[in-house]
Amino acid sequence: MSIYDKPVPFAILAVAVISVGTLVTTFIPMFFPSTQPVSPLVKPYTAPEVEGRDIYLREGCNNCHTQTVRPLRTEVARYGDYSKPEEFAYDRPFLWGSRRTGPDLARLGGKYPDAWHYRHMTSPQGMFEKSNMPAYPWLAKARLDTSLTARKVKVLGYGYDGAEVSRQLAALRQTVTSPGYASASVRSQVTPEPLRGELTELDAIVAYMQRLGRDLKTAQRGAGGPAVAEAAEGKNPFAGDRAAEEEGERTFKENCRSCHGEKGAGGFGPKLSLKAHKFGNADADLFASVAEGRPGGMPAFLPQLGKDRVWKVVAYIRRLERE
């Protein structure tokens, strides 16, 4: 008599054996505070963001993009502050992903202006020749289906009602269709005429992407760091240095051209080949803009480029002014 000649008790024993690790590592910790932390700074998604997130799921964006920044120095430099557990409290399902065929998106929100996303989603190779991201032109051609939104928000338990859902959807529609919308011209270029007055799927996914990782980032804004304070004291160490200007030009082509245009002629971002700049004309002002970014879509480049390359870009901008 042994367990090896009794199939049913054997199956029950097998279930017991697989339950041990399951209980210890997965199901008991489920009720610990450490796996369900909350923060007053982290808010549920809005109704348009819920719809945008569902489009992100439908198109399988998570197959190529992660949404979690690991606490590694180079990763923080590339993507921004590392991810905290409380930031995902409203994520059902979670979207951390497993492969970075494209970059991590956990801190994408607010990094670029909406116009950048409208152009990029419809034509990635138009902005970055070597990118292998698929284009998603059909999102701009599809009216956003909001028939289930109120139900979705209810199932997700986000704590606001159907009237609030309608209000939020109307507010986004108001924003993106108004002539004063900062990204209005690019949006009209990619959106077919009959849909320009409506909310499209692209509007929703852009709203979602602009939200990503933003709750904690907003709370931390304004921490410029010693490099910016140091820059305020001095002049560009590479001013007038020909070789440095050329290196600045290379860096500019890789990182700045997609928004500020060829030779700084202007695009989503302001024109740079002129003497009067939006945030001041001192070396320190230009350094601060490139290093820590500016509201309205200018990303911070200091962590990625480092002090010297930022100064070299400033030197190149000065050359553009002269030309």
Residues 251-310 that bind other proteins (CB under 8 A): 254-255, 302-309
Q: Which among 81-89, 111-119, 190-198, 208-216 is the span making contact with other proteins, rule CB under 8 A?
A: 81-89
d(CA 126, CA 305): 24
Write out the DSSP string of 137-170. GGGTTSB---TTHHHHHHHHT-S--HHHHHHHHH
Angle of CA points 159, 165, 166, to nearest 5°: 155
Q: Which among 88-96, 216-224, 264-272, 280-288 is the span making contact with other proteins, rule CB under 8 A?
A: 88-96
- Contact status: 200 vs other proteins (CB under 8 A): no
Q: Which among 80-88, 161-169, 189-197, 209-217 is the span making contact with other proteins, rule CB under 8 A?
A: 80-88
Contacts of 257 (CB under 8 A, 6+ apart): none
- Contact status: 40 vs other proteins (CB under 8 A): no
* Single-letter amino acid code for the residue at 71: P
Q: Which residue in the set 41, 43, 59, 81 belongs to the binding site for other proteins (CB under 8 A)? A: 59
In the region spanning residues 60 to 79, those forming contacts with other proteins, defined by CB under 8 A, are: 60-64, 66, 68, 70-75, 77-78
188 secondary structure, DSSP code: H
Alpha helices, DSSP H only, in 157-277? 162-177, 184-190, 201-211, 214-220, 226-233, 242-255, 257-260
What's CA 315's distance to the chain center, in Å? 29
Quote the least distance from Cβ 82 to other proteins, whole Å: 8
Quote the least distance from Cβ 178 to other proteins, whole Å: 29
Quote the least distance from Cβ 172 to other proteins, whole Å: 21
Give the pair of three-digit tokens for residue 135.
């284009």
Using the minimum distance from each CB to other proteins, give the nearer residue, 84 or 278. 84
Quote the least distance from Cβ 154 to other proteins, whole Å: 9
Tell me if 212 sits within 8 A of 90, measured CB to CB. Answer: no
Q: Measured on CA atoms in the order 217, 220, 225, 228, is the torsion positive or negative?
A: positive
Tell me if 154 sits within 8 A of 70, measured CB to CB. Answer: no
Using the minimum distance from each CB to other proteins, give the nearer residue, 37 or 261. 37
Q: Which residue in the set 45, 88, 118, 238 belongs to the binding site for other proteins (CB under 8 A)? A: 88
Residues binding other proteins: what is the number (CB under 8 A)? Answer: 89
In the region spanning residues 6 to 35, those forming contacts with other proteins, defined by CB under 8 A, are: 7-8, 10-11, 14-15, 17-22, 24-26, 29-30, 32, 34-35
In the chain the first and final C-alpha atoms are separated, in Å, by: 93
Q: Which residue in the set 49, 51, 87, 249 belongs to the binding site for other proteins (CB under 8 A)? A: 87
In the region spanning residues 119 to 178, those forming contacts with other proteins, defined by CB under 8 A, are: 124-125, 128, 130-136, 138, 148, 151-152, 155-156
